[in-house]
Amino acid sequence: MPFTYEYERPSLTVDCVVFGLDETDLKVILIERGVPPFQGKWALPGGFVKPSEPLEEAARRELQEETGIEQAFLEQLFTFGDKDRDPRGWTVTVAYYALVKLSDHRIQATTDASDAKWFPVAAIPALAFDHEKIFRVALERLRGKVRYQPIGFELLPEKFTLTQLQKLYETILRQDLDKRNFRKKILSMGLLLDTNETQQDVAHRAARLYRFDRHRYEELRQKGFNFEV
Amino acid sequence: MPFTYEYERPSLTVDCVVFGLDETDLKVILIERGVPPFQGKWALPGGFVKPSEPLEEAARRELQEETGIEQAFLEQLFTFGDKDRDPRGWTVTVAYYALVKLSDHRIQATTDASDAKWFPVAAIPALAFDHEKIFRVALERLRGKVRYQPIGFELLPEKFTLTQLQKLYETILRQDLDKRNFRKKILSMGLLLDTNETQQDVAHRAARLYRFDRHRYEELRQKGFNFEV
DNA sequence: TCAAAAGTGTTAACCATACACCCATGC
DNA sequence: GCATGGGTGTATGGTTAACACTTTTGA
């Protein structure tokens, strides 16, 4: 037992709320715990921060180790330190939320890490620790932020149709949007690059594929432009 | 040395960026450090979290102990855990930002805690640890949030004039606003209660005093209303 | 030829902006 | 009576919201 301190210190963990989007649902990835406490229960991916490890790096590492996810938009969410959140004692967790392109990660997450599974946000099981609370805070943050920051694109493939984008907002915000007005607004921002490609293998008229222009967004943002859906 | 652990653990601290507003400036309170490290340097008020102490409670306690401030709007800002932020070793800090009514606190902070002083945000001295970074993040957060959440009122006395409110936004956002348009917009939200009182002892026509109607704001917010200046 | 989704314009209501003068008060 | 800030209205342009049909494609 080599680590001795004059004052009591907390354990430090990171936890990640990873969102993905498929054709019908907004989903979150959960891990079935193999060890106590809460053995057999579902939990957010996460774990202990290594000594002097940057927090975001720890979050990325745990994500990789537990779900196989390597590329993700990741942002700090909130730090939870309440007394009884971990039965093992004083444990503080820095929570992150992540947005991934489900099209890329769907397979990995259910094969490499066989105990990881995607759940629709409307059907989350009982979770270990205070992870339900963390999940709720993350969902609230996502719903609030997606409106006025262009983070929704992180949930779509590189190339996407306007209908996919519209459905994304409809799913996350739980409200229908008018197709014509949505297209007008989005296109008028000048943030989408037309790839001049179209969908393949669809049983109807193929839609144009667009790409989000990050570089242009940065330019506009610096000039005071505010993204808003 | 009674606390021994199998794995290395970080020290845990809280730090507070406390904003106040006077006639001319947005200000932040700083503490002159009396002990190493960074003895003699200015720093954000803050200190070690006690075992199992809720994080927000720790922030409020440190604020009280170091500045005498007891009533403040307090919100978690960000958690900083980079390797070299504290020369004593691995130290993670949960940063908060606070908004106080300077009219109430101006005296306390410069008497009770004689080493606490208010600095205009445009003239912050070199700070201890990574506190400059924390301060910048806090200022950015305040500027972003004040536009679309009614937190500005936390910086004003209970009863305030429309001109005071307008000046608040002009100071924080660093841009001038049109008086007539500002009044129209603010009053049309229906969030201000006319106290039917007026300023006293002013050498010109006395302005009406208003009060922010928190209750009404909650009602409207639940119906989907979005505050925006 | 049918089904399924893509794509497209106009109008009316509302909201944001720009802008200048009179009013009340204390000194 | 003058200096200081308080308080007020209108017109214009731009933005948002409501709304329905035609086009393309593959099966």
User: Residue A113 pLDDT > 60, yes or no?
Assistant: no
Cα separation values, A154 from A62, A74, A141, A212, Å: 20, 10, 15, 10
Quick one: average pLDDT of B113-135?
94
Q: Give the number of other Cβ atoms within 10 Å of residue B109's Cβ.
A: 24
Out of B1, B4, B51, the one facing A90 most closely (by C-beta) is: B51
B1-14 pLDDT, tens digit each: 689 999 999 999 99
Interface contact A12-B10, CB threshold 8 A:
yes
Structural fold of domain B156-222? Arc Repressor Mutant, subunit A (1.10.10)
| Nucleotides on strand D lying under 7 Å from protein C-beta | 3-10, 16-20, 23-27
User: Residue B221 pLDDT > 80, yes or no?
Assistant: yes
Q: Is the Cβ atom of B208 within 7 Å of strand D at any atom?
A: yes
Out of B5, B6, B83, the one facing A52 most closely (by C-beta) is: B83
Cα separation values, B180 from B24, B137, B163, B171, B177, Å: 21, 32, 11, 18, 9
Domain layout of chain B by residue ranges:
11-145, 156-222
What mean pLDDT value characterizes chain B? 94
What mean pLDDT value characterizes chain A? 94
B11-37 pLDDT, tens digit each: 999 999 999 999 999 999 999 999 999
Q: Which pLDDT score, from 0 to 100, does residue A162 have?
A: 98
Q: Does B39 touch chain A (CB under 8 A)?
A: no
Cis peptide before B37 (omega within 30 of 0): yes
Q: Which pLDDT score, from 0 to 100, does residue A2 have?
A: 87
User: Residue A107 pLDDT > 60, yes or no?
Assistant: no
Chain B CB contacts of A11 below 8 Å: 7, 9
pLDDT band, very low/low/confident/very high, at A138 (cuts 50, 70, 90)? very high
Cβ within 7 A of any strand C atom: A 161-163, 179-181, 183-184, 198, 203-208; B 178-181, 184-185, 202-206, 228
Out of B10, B52, B81, the one facing A54 most closely (by C-beta) is: B81
Q: Does B163 touch chain A (CB under 8 A)?
A: no
Spacing of B190 CA from D8 C1' in Å: 18
Q: Which pLDDT score, from 0 to 100, does residue B74 have?
A: 98
Q: Is the Cβ atom of B184 within 7 Å of strand D at any atom?
A: yes
Helical H segments across A15-130, by residue range: 55-67, 102-111
Chain B CB contacts of A1 below 8 Å: 4-6
Instruction: Taking each helix axis as running N to C, give the angle between helix B179-188 and helix B162-173, from 0 to 180 degrees, rounded to the nearest 10.
Output: 110
| Nucleotides on strand C lying under 7 Å from protein C-beta | 3-10, 16-20, 23-27
Rounded distance between C-alpha atoms, residue B191 and residue B162, angstroms: 12
Q: Which of B92, B130, B148 to mutate to test the interface with A (most CBs of A within 10 A)?
A: B92
Q: Compute CA B211 distance to the chain's CA centroid, rounded to the nearest angstrom.
A: 20
Chain A and chain B share a number of CB contacts under 8 A equal to: 84
pLDDT band, very low/low/confident/very high, at A59 (cuts 50, 70, 90)? very high
| Residue A155, both tokens | 């949930």
Residue nearest to nucleotide D8 (CA to C1'): B180
Interface contact B55-A79, CB threshold 8 A:
yes
Q: What are phi and psi for residue B139, nearest 5 degrees?
A: -65, -40
Rounded distance between C-alpha atoms, residue A112 and residue A64, angstroms: 10
A176-197 pLDDT, tens digit each: 999 999 999 999 999 999 999 9
**Residues paired with B120 in a beta bridge:** B27
Q: Give the torsion sign (CA, B34, B37, B40, B42).
A: negative
Q: Which pLDDT score, from 0 to 100, does residue A112 have?
A: 47
Rounded distance between C-alpha atoms, residue A190 and residue A216, angstroms: 8
**If you classify domain A11-145 with CATH, what class do you get?**
alpha beta
Task: Give the chain A residue nearest B6 (alpha carbons).
Answer: A1
Rounded distance between C-alpha atoms, residue A109 and residue A35, angstroms: 20
Closest by alpha carbon to A172, among A110, A207, A122?
A: A122
**SS3 state at A58:** helix
Q: Which pLDDT score, from 0 to 100, does residue B104 have?
A: 75
Q: Which pLDDT score, from 0 to 100, does residue A111 have?
A: 43
The yes-or-no answer to whether B11-145 and B156-222 have a common fold is no
Are A7 and B48 in contact, with CB atoms under 8 Å apart?
yes
Direct distance between the N- and C-terminal alpha carbons of chain B, in angstroms, rounded to an integer: 54
Q: Which pLDDT score, from 0 to 100, does residue A104 have?
A: 74
Rounded distance between C-alpha atoms, residue A5 and residue A10, angstroms: 11
Q: Does B8 touch chain A (CB under 8 A)?
A: yes
Cα separation values, B189 from B166, B194, B213, Å: 15, 13, 11
Q: Which pLDDT score, from 0 to 100, does residue B103 have?
A: 82
pLDDT band, very low/low/confident/very high, at B111 (cuts 50, 70, 90)? very low
**Residues paired with A192 in a beta bridge:** A212
| Residue A45, both tokens | 């991916």
Are A66 and A113 in contact, with CB atoms under 8 Å apart?
yes
B173-188 pLDDT, tens digit each: 999 999 999 999 999 9
Q: Which pLDDT score, from 0 to 100, does residue A46 have?
A: 97
B71-105 pLDDT, tens digit each: 999 999 999 999 999 999 999 999 999 999 998 75
Closest by alpha carbon to A143, among A118, A102, A175, A117?
A: A175
